[in-house]
A and B are shown apart, each in its own frame.
Chain A
Amino acid sequence: MIEFKNVSYSYPGNSTPVLRDLSLTISEGDFILVIGTSGAGKSTFLRCFNGLVPHFYGGDFGGQVRVMGHDPLREGPRGMARHVGFVLQNPEDQFVVETVEDELAFALENYALPQAAMRKRIEEALDQLSIAHLRSRQVSTLSGGEQQRVAIAAVLTLQPSVLVLDEPTSQLDPQAAEDVLDTLVKLNADLGLTIVLSEHRLERVVQYADHVLYLPDDGQPPFFGDPTAVMARVPLTPPLVTLGKALGWEPLPLTIKDARRFVKQFRVPSSEFRGQPETRNSELETSIDMQDVWFSYNGHDALRGVNLTIRAGELVAVMGRNGSGKTTLLKHLVGLLRPRQGRVAVRGHDTRNASLEEIIAHVGYVPQNPNALLFADTVREELDFTRRNHRLPPADYGPLLRTLGLEALADRYPRDLSVGEQQRAALASILVADPEVILLDEPTRGLDYRQKEALTAFLHVQKREGRTVVMATHDVELVASCADRVIILSEGQVVVDGPVRQVMTDSQVFASQVNKLFRDTRFLTVEDVLGRI
């Protein structure tokens, strides 16, 4: 049993408490999902389980925590390591040694276990996570999903009874994320391991959870209960649940299977909707033109004969597996990479002849990791820096900051912002140069539903203003809510290119929750459905 009694905590040098008078009880073997906006204290809460808060961070801690009869406050993270396994967001950042097997041995060596016991436990952990075939591989050569499974195995060797994971899938692509979550569900069911997990992509896990803890960021009391009850009360819900709430479905369905029951009784007026007008953009000027583009990295063909024409004002989503060439394609559009064969023209500039300076006058590229951009002392200075680089006069940033919801943060230190705010600060610092073409690489990584909504609204505005947007993403819901056209890449080739409604309805994999439910070109998002009734 895990018990939190009146737990309050504030970080050193910060008087506002992150956790306020939190009390809850978790029974053994439960699967607990922790949700909340970024910055609501999810990570802090999870770090109370093994005493990293307050032992690692300092600060003021009040109240009592008991984990399986142990007091993390007294025993500290080292003492708790045997009882609580702790896995972080980014698998790469938690590896100590080079090979998988040694990584698994690390915790055991720290506890001075005899060799025979170590070998037995390592073999068991390898089997539990189905990574025995990776045992002598170097961790740096593994895929994200494999790495995260190794990280989980590395804490399971100590045979803890609680496994705590801080957004373990936020850095992974959907397939890898699914693998990791499936593994967790299996560990929970087979070993009776208590699992405490924080996660943004509720649609994947909410059906497995026994209880959900919602931590609000506005000073409201936290809410702990069974998934349906919590989903009914909180604003952050996956599209399916949002739809169920809007239509008053009872009991609230958490899975597509549950929801089908309601769809059967659901009459939709037919035929008057003819889908997205596909010819709308054809008279507009060409913004991006790729002709038979080939490119190779270290002898491996990353792009193989890509042909693509994108018109001004189009919002195109590029989808596909990891390593299918999405980022390579984006880098070609901004002239960072130049084709080995073929031709790329952006706003009439052939990237092989144009200088980077000429291209970036028209194109803005927001990389996957906003941290690669942000360096200045304030958000405002970041914007000044870009304007100066583009030899543009200083401007009034008011409207741009307002659109992105950053007015209040203009003078904050960018590194202190939450993930979503950093993402928007990075966007602002690219868009301040007023590019006609915007390229986004995985813009929703680490964003919660509310932040995704803000991004969607923003992209709609850009589209209306005639800007061309190309985004590489795994996020099907984002694509459903704002893209006009979807391109699916596989091994460097375009395998699908079509209007979003058509592509989603035809596909088993690249379809939004609402579309999976109705299988109808008219319905991709909750708004589509509500607008029909």
Chain B
Amino acid sequence: MFHPVAWLLWLGAAVLPAMFSQNPLYLGIVCLTAGIVYAVIRRRSPLAQSWSSFLKLGLTLIALTAPFNALVVHAGRLVLFTLPQAWPLVGGPITVEAIIFGASKALSLFTLLLLFAVFNCAVDQSHLLRWTPAFLFEAGLITSIALTFVPQTLHSAQEIREAQAIRGHRFRGVRDLLPLFVPLLTSGLERAMQLAESMEARGFGGSLQPLSPRREALVKVATAMALLGLVSGFFTVTYFQGQQALGQVLLILSLIALALAFNIQSQRVRRTRYRHGVWQRRDTTLAAISAGVAVTVLVVRACTRASLTYYPYPPFSPWPPFNFLLGGALALLVAPAVLAGTRREQAQQPTPILAGEP
């Protein structure tokens, strides 16, 4: 299939409409493309089982939110019927607008869930973790270890619960937690100690190069400035409508400073990576399409604000507007399904190079 980074770009492009717009037409297109992509990739992915639980969660979300909004918000002109005013909270007119608004809010959440479900099926988390930037390597490794710790801990919790139950342990109060938690905690700590030893014995942690004092100071100052800049830029853009340009410049400058600091940090780390997943031409195609979609969404949003934001209550129309350029762009998110359908090989498997040699 595709390179994890290409998938990440696709995900980035696809979540934009779900974040910026509650317009059910655009969201519908995104949901539809996500469904098609899933249908194509599911046969190849061992992770595909998680899809149905995502789907159930999303549908529950819609089933809960839409009626709730309709019952509680009584604004709008298209009145379906009226509940007695005497009823607290739910009393009043039930309007089409409120139903649509509730449903479209829920739909945007549902879309996000659906996209992550597809992503989850397509990309193994451990493969993605390998693409954390070098200086964040340790954070990525900790996540990876945590992922393997969870099933082990669940297993020993079960073992301990059974062992204590046979010993006559019954749960009556907080004090009875001790016989369960103490063994769980101590065995977890013992396991952590063993892992630490094993990692150290394989040369872990000795790979950070010392920086010259000058560069070290530069990294610290750049990071601090960048974080400060990001915060103030964010507030300028959000709260001072007149200073948009200043805020945006501030944001861009801080991002550059942050990138610089991260880059210096990454150079300190003397590590290499074992090759996994080759970047192929179709990854480039997918990346380009995703970038195109993202840019279109951003440009349309910047030029014609009205066509993305959607608000069904009066004085606006309850019927969503539709921009054909944007709709067409979103339909391109189906790209992974089309590109993956053409070939069948697995890019994640590196081929052995020693095959045939003595």
Contact = CB atoms under 8 A, between A and B. Distances in A.
A90 B190 CA distance: 11
A485 to B, nearest CB: 24
Interface stretch (A116-124, A317-325, A401-409): A116-124
Given A119-B353, A389-B167, A86 B198 contact: yes
Contacts of B195: 93-96
A372 B183 contact: yes
Contact of A78 (B152, B164, B169, B203): B203
B144 A386 contact: no
Interface stretch (B69-77, B239-247, B271-279): B271-279
A246 B20 CA distance: 86
A90 B202 contact: no
A522 interface: no
A375 interface: yes
A93 B126 contact: no
Nearest to A118: B274
Contacts, number: 179
A353 B285 CA distance: 65
Contacts of A102: 126, 130, 274, 276
A96 B274 contact: no
A433 interface: yes
B183 A96 contact: no
B59 interface: no
Interface in B228-286: 270-276
Give the size category of A's interface with B: 35 or more
User: Chain B at the A interface: mostly helix, strand, loop or mixed?
Assistant: helix
A110 B163 contact: no
Contact of B194 (A85, A93, A124): A93
Nearest to B161: A372
B187 interface: yes
B216 interface: no
A433 B274 CA distance: 56
Interface stretch (A247-255, A363-371, A491-499): A363-371
B156 A109 contact: no
Interface string B199-225: 111111111000000000000000000
A181 B281 CA distance: 47
B288 interface: no
A285 interface: no
B39 interface: no
Nearest to A334: B166
Contacts of A94: 194-195, 198
Contact of B151 (A105, A132, A140): A140
Contacts of A256: none
B350 A119 contact: yes
Contacts of A86: 197-198, 201-202
A385 B152 CA distance: 27
A95 B271 CA distance: 19
B353 A92 contact: no
A294 to B, nearest CB: 21
B358 to A, nearest CB: 11
Interface in B113-137: 126, 130
Give the most central of B178, B200, B349: most A CB within 10 Å.
Answer: B200
Contacts of A124: 354
A110 B203 contact: yes
A373 B168 contact: no
B85 interface: no
A336 B165 contact: yes
Interface string A83-100: 011101110111111110
B202 A373 contact: no
A109 B179 CA distance: 41
Contacts of B304: none
Interface in A505-533: none
Given A94-B195, A154-B202, A356 B275 contact: no
A112 B271 contact: yes
Contacts of A99: 126
B197 A115 contact: no
A427 to B, nearest CB: 12
Contacts of A415: 186
A389 B353 contact: no
A115 B274 contact: yes
Given A81-B202, A86-B198, A120 B207 contact: no
A33 B83 CA distance: 85
Nearest to B201: A86
A92 B272 contact: no
A336 B166 contact: yes
B203 A374 contact: no
Interface in A396-444: 415, 429-430, 433
Contacts of A232: none
A82 interface: yes
Nearest to B147: A98
B168 A360 contact: yes
Given A98-B147, A357-B168, A373-B167, A56 B273 contact: no
A92 B170 contact: no
Interface in A21-55: 50, 52
Residue from B156, B168, B187 whose CB has the most chain A CB atoms within 10 Å:
B168
Contacts of B126: 97-99, 102
Contact of B272 (A85, A115, A334): A115
Nearest to B151: A140
B167 A109 contact: no
B179 A375 contact: yes
Interface string B38-56: 0000000000000000000
A471 interface: no
B352 interface: yes
A400 to B, nearest CB: 15
Given A136-B349, A372-B156, A118 B183 contact: no
A123 B206 CA distance: 25
Given A77-B200, A86-B198, A110-B204, A389 B169 contact: yes
A314 interface: no
B342 interface: no
B264 to A, nearest CB: 18
Nearest to B353: A119
A430 B164 CA distance: 10
A52 B197 contact: yes
Contacts of A93: 191, 194-195, 198
B166 A360 contact: yes
A433 B162 CA distance: 17
29 contacts: A50-B201, A82-B203, A85-B201, A86-B202, A88-B197, A93-B195, A93-B198, A95-B148, A96-B141, A97-B148, A99-B126, A101-B350, A107-B203, A109-B274, A110-B205, A111-B207, A114-B272, A118-B272, A119-B274, A119-B350, A123-B352, A123-B353, A140-B152, A334-B166, A360-B167, A364-B166, A375-B179, A375-B182, A386-B168
Interface of B: 126, 130, 141, 144-145, 147-148, 151-152, 156, 159-160, 162-170, 178-179, 182-183, 186-187, 190-191, 194-207, 270-276, 349-350, 352-354
Given A78-B205, A367-B163, A373-B167, 20 more contacts: A52-B201, A78-B203, A93-B194, A93-B198, A94-B195, A95-B195, A97-B126, A98-B144, A109-B274, A110-B271, A111-B203, A120-B354, A139-B148, A140-B148, A360-B167, A360-B168, A371-B187, A389-B167, A389-B168, A430-B167
List the 4 shortest-distance A-B pairs measured between CB atoms, nearest first: A389-B168, A105-B274, A94-B198, A78-B206
